[in-house]
Amino acid sequence: MTQALGMPRSLGEIYGLLYATPQPLAFQDIVARLEMSKGSVSQGLRFLRTVGAIKPVVLAGDRREFFEPVVELRQLVAGFLRERLNPQIEIWGARAKALKPADFALETLSDKGRGTLANRLEKLKTWQKRAGTVLPMVSKLLG
């Protein structure tokens, strides 16, 4: 699944291990169990944390940090939308807004062509608005 959404496989492996393990695991446990480099695990955990797919657990009397999976689908999806999709939509929307009809070679076009382009330019701008309202709804639908 992570790969289908354009994220590294290692993320899926780490999350999967945490999911399949009833106790929280420490950094080193993951490195050992997945035979993965510390670097990958470090970056993987960081991303999973920012996305809200895992949560840190402190165990008394242990210096290490432990992790357990967030098992609510709603939160996983919300995190993905927030951290991955939304930023791109922002960028995309900003660019769409900056586009002016003059950015196209309008002089060379028929009236009909100009109309079509103007239409599409408008549509582009509504897309972003629509995304902005729909994405939060999706998160809620899964709650």
Partner DNA sequence: CATTAAGTTCAATTAAAAATGAACTGAGGG
Partner DNA sequence: CCCTCAGTTCATTTTTAATTGAACTTAATG
* Chosen from DNA, a copy of itself, none, partner binding at 20 (C-beta under 5 to 8 Å by type): a copy of itself
55 to 84, contacts with DNA by CB under 7 A?
A: 63-65
The interface mask with a copy of itself, positions 94-113, x = CB under 8 A, is ----------x----x--xx
Amino acid identity, position 109: L
Pick the binder of a copy of itself from 3, 37, 42, 50 (CB under 8 A).
3
Q: Tell me how far apart the alpha carbons of residues 52 and 49 are, in angstroms, rounded to a whole number.
A: 5
Enumerate residues 57-76 that contact a copy of itself by CB under 8 A. Answer: 71, 73
Candidate ranges 28-36, 47-55, 59-67, 114-122; the one touching a copy of itself (CB under 8 A): 114-122
Q: Which of 54, 127, 132, 136 lies at the binding interface for a copy of itself (CB under 8 A)?
A: 127
Rule CB under 7 A: say whether 39 interacts with DNA.
yes
Of 127, 131, 124, nearest in space to 98 by CA? 124
Say if residues 138 and 77 touch (Cβ distance below 8 Å). Answer: yes
Sequence-distant (≥ 6) Cβ neighbours of residue 142 within 8 angstroms:
73, 74, 77, 78
The residues near 71 (Cβ < 8 Å, ≥ 6 apart) are: 19
Q: Does 20 participate in binding a copy of itself (rule CB under 8 A)? A: yes
Residue 19 in contact with a copy of itself, rule: CB under 8 A: yes
Q: Which of 57, 69, 1, 67 is nearest to 29 (CA)?
A: 67
| d(C-alpha 9, C-alpha 2), whole Å | 6
Residues at the interface with DNA (CB under 7 A) = 3, 6-10, 26-28, 35-40, 42-46, 63-65
